[in-house]
């Protein structure tokens, strides 16, 4: 900013924002010319970005009306809008805008011009949300909260400037009313708030505009892997590889009640590239694994003298999917966590660990893969608080438990103490189906056995799992077994440089 003329970055942001809006208007309204655009302008630079973008759209023939919602308005942006033929709610922009005009919607949307403002928003083809930018925190105050409610009832497209108003840009938390956007145009770098739920849900599709900030030299506190990042990390066999060098995964999963969990976890590990899977389980799931995966080496757990130690040498363990929470299951989990290799702990094993946290006091690396309910039991924190502040609680869990934590859900996040939280950009709501987490565990176990750290294995597994969900679903329901079918295709696409196709936003 010190090297560039004043206003350069705002001009670049406005140009990118206007271009994105023009594309949306071409799609939704048949073009920019004659379209109805409402600009909600707050007091800060965010409002300035919106006003300058509105001026560019007005210059292309859009009917642009600005609603100054703050105690002041960006003078340069307002002047540009005036010069392009725009107007302000309450009358044409013919002179200085001050006093009652700037305060037209201050206090309540139902104020002096509230009816006009609501009617403008309701009739707009596109609404630009420039109320609050990245500096905002906490719940929206009036008139912003009332405007957000009106915007969310409108039929036109809503485009948020940098971050939807009401969404905390640094955490994704939503403390009260917030604008729900169909598109968020963010500048310079993706903000955490548009990547992590609940904020990501309000952001809709996210488009990044490069305004020339350049690469960042310091590690951010939150990072997002791309398909190329994942491809660079994934283990690949060499000419000298054999099944042992490619990684041997031990899987302790399934019970007489949940036989499918064992099948899915073993399948996930095999399809994700493990050289060998050694499965150990009780009779019923063992029979299912032998039927579905003859490639796996299997061993039966017995009621007396459980045989985890007899399964053979492995490079990683997956324990917990469908294993149950009884006394025998606890013995299995204890035996696995007593090993000296990385362990991925999932599902029922998380419940047992929550009862007996001392099991996590081990020297080998440990990866936990809870959903919000399981993390609630581990931390003693209500599930609703975890879902409302995912970053805060995944960091807390990693620090308090001394492990790597992959928190599953609408936004999957991976935390390890002293490292940036990794936010997974892939996935689909169709992955909210029974058994998909078991497949994720198998994928993670294979990557651990292949030599990846818990931090890298968790982030890569989440990415692969999300892309596979997109491939398997194609906009329709899926079952967990579908992920196993498409995993080879998914990995081929990522390793071939096509990983971006799975990005959710």
Strands 404-407 and 366-368: parallel
For the cut 50, the answer to whether the pLDDT of residue 92 exceeds it is: no
Dist CA 178 CA 144 (whole Å): 9
* 8-217: CATH topology: Rossmann fold (3.40.50)
Strands 366-368 and 343-345: parallel
* Same-fold call for 8-217 versus 227-231+246-502: no
Q: Which residues are annotated as a binding site for AMP?
A: 408-412, 437
- Confidence at 243, pLDDT banded by 50, 70, 90: confident
Q: What is the value of pTM for the model shown?
A: 0.89
Helix (H, G, I), strand (E, B) or coil at 118: helix
Dist CA 42 CA 179 (whole Å): 13
Quote the radius of gyration of the chain (alpha carbons, Å): 26
Average of per-residue pLDDT across 439-453: 98
- Whether the bond into 312 is cis, omega within 30 of 0: no
Helix (H, G, I), strand (E, B) or coil at 31: coil
Q: Can you point out the beta strands (E) in 403-468? A: 404-407, 413-415, 421-423
Average of per-residue pLDDT across 315-342: 95
Is residue 480 within a helix (H) or strand (E), and if so which, with residue range? Answer: helix 480-495
Q: Which residues are annotated as a binding site for K(+)?
A: 46, 129, 165
What are 166-191's pLDDT values in tens digits?
Answer: 999 999 999 999 999 999 999 988 99
Please classify residue 218 by burial: count the beta carbons closer than 10 Å to its beta carbon, then call 0-12 exposed, 13-18 middle and 19+ buried. Answer: exposed
- Confidence at 290, pLDDT banded by 50, 70, 90: very high
Whose tokens are 């399981």? That residue is 374
What are 369-428's pLDDT values in tens digits?
Answer: 999 999 999 999 999 999 999 999 999 999 999 999 999 998 999 999 999 999 999 999
Minimal CA–CA distance to 77: which of 40, 121, 24, 124?
A: 40
Cβ-contact 78, 84 below 8 angstroms: no
Dist CA 150 CA 142 (whole Å): 12
- Confidence at 307, pLDDT banded by 50, 70, 90: low
Please tell me the predicted confidence (pLDDT) of residue 99: 38
Residues 6+ apart with CB under 8 A from 316: 247, 248, 249, 250, 341, 342, 343, 344, 445, 446, 448, 449
For the cut 60, the answer to whether the pLDDT of residue 473 exceeds it is: yes
Is residue 209 within a helix (H) or strand (E), and if so which, with residue range? Answer: strand 205-209
Dist CA 197 CA 397 (whole Å): 18
CATH 3.10.290.10 assigned to 227-231+246-502: no
What are 9-63's pLDDT values in tens digits?
Answer: 899 999 999 999 999 999 988 999 999 999 999 988 999 999 999 999 999 999 9
Q: Tally Cβ neighbours within 10 Å of residue 215.
A: 5
Please classify residue 440 by burial: count the beta carbons closer than 10 Å to its beta carbon, then call 0-12 exposed, 13-18 middle and 19+ buried. Answer: buried
Q: Which residues are annotated as a binding site?
A: 45-49, 129, 133-139, 144, 162, 165, 261, 322, 371, 408-412, 437-438
Domain ranges of the chain: 8-217, 227-231+246-502
Dist CA 330 CA 352 (whole Å): 7
Q: Which residues are annotated as a binding site for (6S)-NADPHX?
A: 45-49, 133-139, 144, 162, 261, 322, 371, 438
What are 129-173's pLDDT values in tens digits?
Answer: 999 988 888 899 988 999 999 999 999 999 999 999 999 999 999
Dist CA 293 CA 287 (whole Å): 10
For the cut 50, the answer to whether the pLDDT of residue 481 exceeds it is: yes
Minimal CA–CA distance to 453: which of 340, 338, 367, 345?
A: 367
């Amino acid at each position: 900013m010190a090297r560039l003329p004043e206003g350069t970055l705002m001009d670049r942001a406005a140009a990118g924002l206007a271009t994105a809006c023009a594309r949306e208007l071409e799609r939704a309204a048949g073009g920019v010319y004659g379209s109805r655009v409402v600009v909600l302008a707050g007091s800060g630079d965010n409002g300035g970005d919106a006003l300058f973008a509105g001026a560019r759209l007005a210059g292309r023939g859009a009917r642009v009306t600005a609603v100054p919602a703050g105690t002041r308005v960006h003078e340069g942006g307002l002047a540009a809008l005036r010069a392009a033929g725009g107007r302000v709610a309450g009358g044409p922009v013919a002179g200085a805008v001050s006093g009652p005009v700037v305060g037209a919607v201050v206090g309540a949307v139902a104020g002096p011009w509230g009816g006009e403002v609501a009617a403008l928003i309701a009739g707009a083809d596109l609404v630009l949300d420039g109320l609050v930018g990245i500096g905002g925190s906490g719940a929206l105050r009036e008139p912003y909260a009332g405007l957000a409610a009106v915007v969310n009832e409108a039929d036109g497209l809503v485009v948020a400037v940098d971050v939807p108003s009401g969404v905390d840009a640094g955490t994704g938390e939503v403390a009260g009313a917030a604008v729900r956007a169909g598109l968020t145009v963010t500048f310079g770098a993706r903000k955490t708030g548009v990547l992590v739920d609940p904020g990501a849900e309000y952001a809709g599709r996210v488009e990044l505009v490069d305004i020339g900030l350049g690469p960042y030299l310091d590690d951010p506190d939150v990072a997002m892997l791309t398909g190329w990042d994942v491809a660079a990390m994934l283990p690949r066999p060499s000419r000298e590889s054999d099944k042992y060098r490619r990684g041997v995964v031990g899987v302790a999963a399934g019970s007489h009640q949940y036989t499918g969990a064992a099948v899915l976890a073993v399948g996930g590990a095999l399809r994700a590239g493990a050289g060998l899977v050694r499965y150990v389980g009780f009779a019923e799931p063992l029979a299912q694994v032998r039927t579905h995966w003859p490639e796996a080496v299997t061993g039966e757990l017995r009621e007396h003298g459980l045989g985890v130690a007899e399964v053979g040498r492995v490079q990683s363990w997956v324990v917990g999917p469908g294993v149950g929470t009884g006394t025998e299951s606890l013995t299995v989990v204890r035996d696995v966590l007593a090993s000296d290799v990385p362990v991925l702990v999932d599902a029922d094993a998380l419940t047992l660990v929550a009862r007996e946290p001392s099991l996590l006091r081990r020297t080998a690396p440990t990866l936990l893969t809870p959903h919000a309910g399981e993390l609630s039991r581990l931390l003693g924190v209500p599930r609703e608080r975890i879902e409302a502040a995912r970053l805060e609680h995944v960091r807390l869990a990693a620090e308090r438990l001394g492990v790597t934590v992959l928190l599953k859900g609408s936004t999957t996040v991976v935390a390890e103490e002293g490292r940036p939280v990794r936010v997974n950009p892939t996935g689909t709501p169709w992955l909210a189906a029974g058994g998909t987490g078991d497949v994720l565990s198998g994928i993670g176990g294979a990557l651990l056995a292949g030599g990846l750290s818990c931090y890298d294995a968790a982030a890569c597994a989440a990415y692969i799992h999300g892309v596979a969900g997109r491939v398997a679903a194609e906009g329709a329901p899926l079952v967990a077994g579908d992920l196993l079918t498409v995993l080879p295709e998914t990995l081929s696409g990522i390793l071939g440089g096509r990983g971006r196709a799975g990005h959710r936003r």
